């Protein structure tokens, strides 16, 4: 009988300690927001050029089918050589 009386208490204590630990971790994670700084220049190609990017091969900016905004990068050609890229 005594063993059964301790077991639920032990489980309740473990649950309480776990809940407090999770609460602490959640508060610590939410308490320090990440910095929103970025070093990407012309990330959406909205300058209408590849400024801020290094290109090789056939690479240009187009207004045909952009994902968002007015411009998109076009890399490669209809005869791919495998040497076109932007970084």
pTM for the full predicted model? 0.47
Nearest to 73 by CA among 53, 82, 16: 53
Per-residue pLDDT tens over the stretch 1-46: 555 555 677 777 787 787 777 666 665 556 556 666 667 888 888 8
Which residues, listed in sequence order, are joined to residue 61 by a DSSP beta bridge? Answer: 73
| C-alpha to C-alpha distance for 43 and 53, rounded to whole angstroms | 9
């Amino acid at each position: 009988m005594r063993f059964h009386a301790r077991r639920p208490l032990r489980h309740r204590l473990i649950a309480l300690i776990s809940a407090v630990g999770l609460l602490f971790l959640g508060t610590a994670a939410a308490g320090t927001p990440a910095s929103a700084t970025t070093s990407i220049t012309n990330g959406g190609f909205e300058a209408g050029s590849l400024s801020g990017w290094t290109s090789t091969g056939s690479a240009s900016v187009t207004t045909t089918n952009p994902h968002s905004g007015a411009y998109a990068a076009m890399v490669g050609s209809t005869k791919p050589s495998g040497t076109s890229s932007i970084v």
